[in-house]
């Protein structure tokens, strides 16, 4: 039902917002500080058998790539990228005025923080594409004015929320996904994956 679907989307936003809060804390910590959270976090930071949960900014400083409440780098951002279109849907659907918009906007702020602090370029691109696609679909279904209002709300929430985050060079990583560099970055970053496509087809059919 619509009610259950709405409840699911609110729950999704809530989980993304909680991960956003945890990611923000991890985002402001050095890799060594986060490694002190416990042996599991220490293993994640050092890499082991997986990709290390750190990145180097333009000044050569090691920065944490937050995993939120998950075990993979950018986990909170992945949830955020999924949850942001849900916020869009909640903003343009139903009734209730500001009583409905305010809690959704607050949770959406948490989801945006999750994406921004994830240090995952894929999540940033996915979130942007998802919003554009959802806006296009909503406009095509004759929800033009509500879509515009939702875009304005999410835009303002994004400006206010992300403006409070002190990047300190942590956002240098996102320079490589500027519109004029996105395709080259994608090809370079996924080159190893492209070379193994035949293996993936046979090993994981």
The terminus-to-terminus CA distance of the chain in angstroms comes to 35
How far apart, in whole angstroms, are the C-alpha atoms of residue 80 and residue 77? 5
pLDDT per residue as tens digits for the range 60-114: 677 778 888 887 778 888 999 999 989 888 888 766 566 777 888 889 889 989 9
Most confidently modeled range among 18-32, 157-171, 182-196:
18-32
* Averaged pLDDT, 171-198: 71
Cβ atoms of 20 and 80 within 8 Å: the answer is: yes
Q: What is the pLDDT of residue 43?
A: 78
Q: What is the pLDDT of residue 17?
A: 93
Tokens of 127: 């979130």
pLDDT per residue as tens digits for the range 21-57: 998 888 888 888 888 888 888 877 776 556 667 666 6
* Averaged pLDDT, 138-148: 75
Model pTM score: 0.76
């Amino acid at each position: 039902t619509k009610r259950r679907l709405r409840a699911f989307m609110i729950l999704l936003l809530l989980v993304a917002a909680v991960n956003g809060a945890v990611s923000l804390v991890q985002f402001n910590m050095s890799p060594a500080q986060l490694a002190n959270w416990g042996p599991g976090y220490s293993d994640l930071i050092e890499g082991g058998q997986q990709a290390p949960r750190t990145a180097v900014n333009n000044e050569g400083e090691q920065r944490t790539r937050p995993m939120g409440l998950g075990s993979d780098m950018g986990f909170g951002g992945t949830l955020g990228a999924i949850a942001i279109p849900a916020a869009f849907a909640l903003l343009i659907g139903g009734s209730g005025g500001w009583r409905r918009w305010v809690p959704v906007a607050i949770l959406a702020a948490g989801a945006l923080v999750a994406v921004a602090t994830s240090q995952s370029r894929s999540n940033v691109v996915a979130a942007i594409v998802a919003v554009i696609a959802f806006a296009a679909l909503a406009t095509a279904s004759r929800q033009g004015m509500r879509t515009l209002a939702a875009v304005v709300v999410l835009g303002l929430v994004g400006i206010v929320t992300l403006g409070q985050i002190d990047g300190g060079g942590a956002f240098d990583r996102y320079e490589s996904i500027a519109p004029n560099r996105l395709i080259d970055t994608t090809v370079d970053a996924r080159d190893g994956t492209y070379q193994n496509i035949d293996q993936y087809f046979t090993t994981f059919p």
